[in-house]
A and B are shown apart, each in its own frame.
Chain A
Amino acid sequence: MWPQAVAIGLVIAGGVASLVMSVGSFRSLDETRAAYYERYQFADVFANMPRAPRSVLDEIAAIPGVAMADGRIAKLALLDISNVAEPASGLFISLPAQGEPDLNRLYMKEGRLPDPLSDSEVVVSGGFAQAHGFAPGDTFSAILNGKRRELVIAGTALSPEFIYAIGPGDRMPDNWRFAVVWMPERALASAYGLSGAISSVSVTLLRDASEAQVIDRLDAVLDRYGGSAAYGRKDQTSHAFLEHGLDMLRNMSTTIPPIFLLVTAFLVNLVLSRLISLEREQIGLLKALGYRNSAIAGHYLKFVLVIAAAGIIVGSVAGTWLGVIVTRLFGTFYQFPFLVFAKNPDLYALGAILSLVAAGLGASRAIRTAVVLPPAVAMQAAAPPRFRRFLEFLPSPPRFTAQPGLMMMVRGLWQRPLRTAMTAFGIALATAVLIVSLFTGNAIEQLVDVTYFMADRQDATIGFVAKQPANAVLQVARFPGVLAAEAVREVSIRIRHGSVERRVMLSGRGRNADLSRIIDTNLRPVILPESGLAISSYLAGVLGARVGDSVEVDLLEGDRRTVVLPIAALVEDYFGIRAMMDADALARLLREAPSVNAVNVSLDQSRVAQLYAVVKGTPAVAGVALKETALANFRSTLAVTITTMAAIYTNLAAIIAVGIVYNSARISLSERARELASLRVLGFTRWETIRILLLELTFLTLIAQPPGWLMGYGLAWVMKTRLAGELMRVPMIMQNLTYVIASAIILLAAALSALIVARRVNWLDLVAVLKTRD
């Protein structure tokens, strides 16, 4: 019973560990975020405009539902850091002349706030400082409104607004190339000629205020200042990404641990039923001697409890350890003042209770059979099963009678259809769990492949501070090292279908754009339709719209009209949701001359240094997004997190597999020990005996594979669906190799279990068997 107990204990430990890890790290992140938002006054609604008088804040504060309004200047600018070739960008945010900002306050990591009267002192974001090894007193340059300035770092800080800080055009945080720079209002205003003015508004809401209404009123107030539509936390980059990360964690924690608990119940039932039927006679004897049912049930419950307790302890320790790893991983790309894995006692209690319930459920049925047996019946050996003829209506197949070993297996399985089905189901489940875990890891590679090598093939995207006339792309094409350049015009829109509305970017691009291509849902590059929108297929799902449907689009720039456009194509993409259309059509829609916000370029890698130098001297450029660094960033942050989780789950799945397969093999050995010993006496060699024993395991393992693949695909689909969000998705591409690897692992587990069990065939006591009755 020892190895079986260990196998059950391990599965329980796996369940507890996955629960503690996923729920624990979810909670750590969630609670830390809530506390941080609260203490540092993270705003609820945000709006930007080129310029508005500071007095507009009074008007905004008077909007019903607004608790507090804060205004500031926010400008994107290029940074020039000595010894750093590639151009970095900084988001410059003004600090009030006195004290701290009312909203989106700073957590000072090092140093102090800048002197309000200084022209050069700034506070920079902690991640950026860390990436460059900057400390208070260090300097770097920035090109503010075309003019180069030396800046001195007075301090480093974190803000609830930039927990997840993404530079322009980037998908992942890159602390090397993106900084948030807080600068005294006086200095920033004078650089941009914005004295007495603001360009960004943040608002907190009263408890029961309607966000939508406040946004509408805010838009009305800011309309005269050319404000682009206000948005809530949902569309605030940092918050949205954090929310998505939390969603993924939450969904993982509700998908995987239940599978473990199910397997736990199943294994406990399997092993305990077997144990009880082996000990039937003792149970009968004990009862005849006057032991009460409760005492007998207690005995087996104690056995289960001890195993469960050991599993819970091991699982709690392992889960805490894994949780610390996962939380630390999150800490590498979420910038929190503090983020530690919260060891909440109630979580461990929950893990323990759920495991006990699962084990108890598994045990209850088995124990009941022990308890209900009248002592006299229990003391006799169980009646030999009445075997049915296999498929009686068929003539007995001659090949079967010639293979008594095969016949024994078929009848054994046939005899106990429930157990056969359960065991096969268990093995299939293990295969399925392996497939999901492997799938999650693979999906990341698929995502990289489709995103960076099929769709966005540009080496870099050069973004402008404001829209430029169409010929800007020709200038960029003449930059050193630029081999090809394609213009992109981006405009914020609200897209609406029925009652569902989303705020997304609409990008206009050349129809034959070859660097940044459009990939359809069959993963083939397609040409942008001449008219109408191409939208992310996920967005189409959110909107409930199909190709051919018309959607309403609020243009949030220029004359801010609302237009109706048909959806002409669906795009398969995995980051964000977006809409695209032909650049000329977009220009007509916006009633403007063709313009560009960004240029996609392919580069001659040997001349990038010269390109960077030129870019740094071009004030119109706000930033350069580099594919290579984006990809490296993606791999080292989010991808690592997901693949780490996937690897953890793969290992846990392997434990399940061994647990189920080993237990099945072990049980069929103890059930058939007598029969096998008889075979040995009759002159069967060890190998022949082992073959008969393992035939069943082999058969069960093999027939479990196809349903395992199906279930694996299903679970992967569930996983994919549950992990999908508007910010990121994983593709549902299942490689055949995944099935092969999963099955290979299961077969290996089966072979190892078989090996261990087969060795026991050598120890069969032939003489002892002959002395006892069936």
Chain B
Amino acid sequence: MAPPVFAAKDLTKTYASGDVEVRALRGVNFEVGAGEVVVLLGPSGSGKSTFLNIVGGIDTATSGDLRFKDIDLTKLRERDLTRYRRESVGFVFQFYNLVPSLTALENVALVTEISTNPMRPQDALAMIGLENRMHHFPAELSGGEQQRVAIARAIAKRPEVLLCDEPTGALDSKTGVLVIEALLKVSAELSTTTLIITHNATIQDVADRVFFFADGNISRIQRNATRRRAADLVW
């Protein structure tokens, strides 16, 4: 078997706010293989976002080991973490986080400008079916369209991993399906390793594996024998 893209050992994260300690992650162990699609499920506050942020290099673990291929992410300095995010990670967030003063095309170009082997921004938008809305500003797009721009922006650099934190959280179910569909389509085309946080249990059917979070740990891992197509999902 190919070496895993991510491998974590006893990953912990403790927030010390005032005299209260919040142990957001309590020794998480997992491996994710190349091209795998993983869905993260779990109750609110169980540590999913914390986990994803650490994996994505925008937060740091308190203790434990986290490898990305043969790089130890827990040992990277700020500068190298930035490079890791820049070169290898695509993010999609619940609130899109598009730059309001830039058009769809420019929002994508923002990222392609700084990466080494990007697609053309137009092509990235075409992949998610927004080639007709390239010159619109975020405020001129619906939530679902904005989220698709965010996906185009995330994948335009051909990242090795795609990390999505509740990408459908702010969308209605129909739009959510479209977004998930777009997401899976590009990740399949680029064989990107993809991690998706969601509160929508039906989405788990599209994954290779499902991680169930509880109390700052992965309580259970479920492997799906077959993956459903997003279009077949019913909410």
Contacts and interface: CB of A to CB of B under 8 A. Distances in A.
A402 B109 contact: yes
Interface in B66-115: 79, 82-83, 85-87, 89, 91, 93-95, 97, 99-103, 105-107, 109-111, 113-115
Residue in B94, B101, B111, B138 whose Cβ sees the most chain A Cβ within 10 Å: B101
Contact of A772 (B79, B95, B135, B165): B95
A688 B111 CA distance: 12
A682 B89 CA distance: 8
Contact of B109 (A389, A401, A680, A681): A401
A211 to B, nearest CB: 70
Contacts of A383: 139
Interface string B55-69: 000110000000000
B91 A387 contact: no
B102 A404 contact: yes
Contacts of A411: 101-102
B191 interface: no
A771 B91 CA distance: 14
A772 B165 CA distance: 13
B137 interface: yes
Contact of B99 (A408, A688, A766, A770): A408
Contact of B102 (A407, A681, A686, A773): A407
Contacts of B29: none
A55 interface: no
Contact of A685 (B82, B93, B105, B139): B82
Contact of A770 (B79, B100, B137, B165): B165
Given A683-B85, A770-B93, A678 B101 contact: no
B76 to A, nearest CB: 13
B175 interface: no
A140 interface: no
A207 interface: no
A675 B139 contact: no
B97 A770 contact: yes
A681 B81 CA distance: 10
Given A411-B101, A774-B95, A404 B85 contact: no
A386 B109 contact: no
Nearest to A411: B101
B103 to A, nearest CB: 8
Interface in A379-437: 383-387, 389, 396, 401-404, 407-408, 411-412, 415
Interface string B17-28: 000000000000
Contacts of A404: 99, 102, 106-107, 109-110, 113
B153 to A, nearest CB: 8
Contacts of B109: 401-402, 404
Contacts, number: 95
A407 B79 CA distance: 26
A699 interface: no
A299 B89 CA distance: 45
Contacts of A412: 101
Contact of B58 (A675, A684, A766): A766
B137 A683 contact: no
A289 interface: no
Contact of A767 (B53, B99, B107, B138): B53
Contacts of B105: 401
B101 A681 contact: no
A675 B135 CA distance: 19
Contacts of A688: 114
B68 to A, nearest CB: 14
Interface in B113-157: 113-115, 135, 137-140, 153
Nearest to B90: A682
Residue in B83, B99, B102 whose Cβ sees the most chain A Cβ within 10 Å: B99
Nearest to A762: B78
A681 B95 CA distance: 14
Interface string A668-681: 00000011001111
Nearest to B113: A404
Interface string A29-72: 00000000000000000000000000000000000000000000
A682 B135 CA distance: 21
A756 B202 CA distance: 49
Contacts of B101: 385, 387, 407-408, 411-412, 415
A102 B94 CA distance: 94
Nearest to B85: A683
A396 B114 CA distance: 21
Contact of B91 (A675, A682, A773): A682
Contact of B59 (A387, A680, A767): A767
Given A682-B111, A773-B95, A408 B102 contact: yes
Nearest to B159: A683
Interface string A355-388: 0000000000000000000000000000111110
A683 B112 CA distance: 11
A385 B111 contact: no
Given A384-B138, A773-B95, 7 more contacts: A408-B101, A411-B101, A412-B101, A683-B83, A683-B89, A684-B82, A685-B82
24 contacts: A385-B100, A387-B139, A401-B106, A402-B113, A404-B99, A404-B102, A404-B106, A404-B107, A404-B113, A407-B106, A408-B101, A411-B101, A412-B101, A681-B85, A682-B110, A683-B82, A683-B85, A683-B115, A684-B82, A684-B114, A688-B114, A767-B53, A770-B93, A770-B97
Interface of B: 49, 53, 58-59, 79, 82-83, 85-87, 89, 91, 93-95, 97, 99-103, 105-107, 109-111, 113-115, 135, 137-140, 153, 165
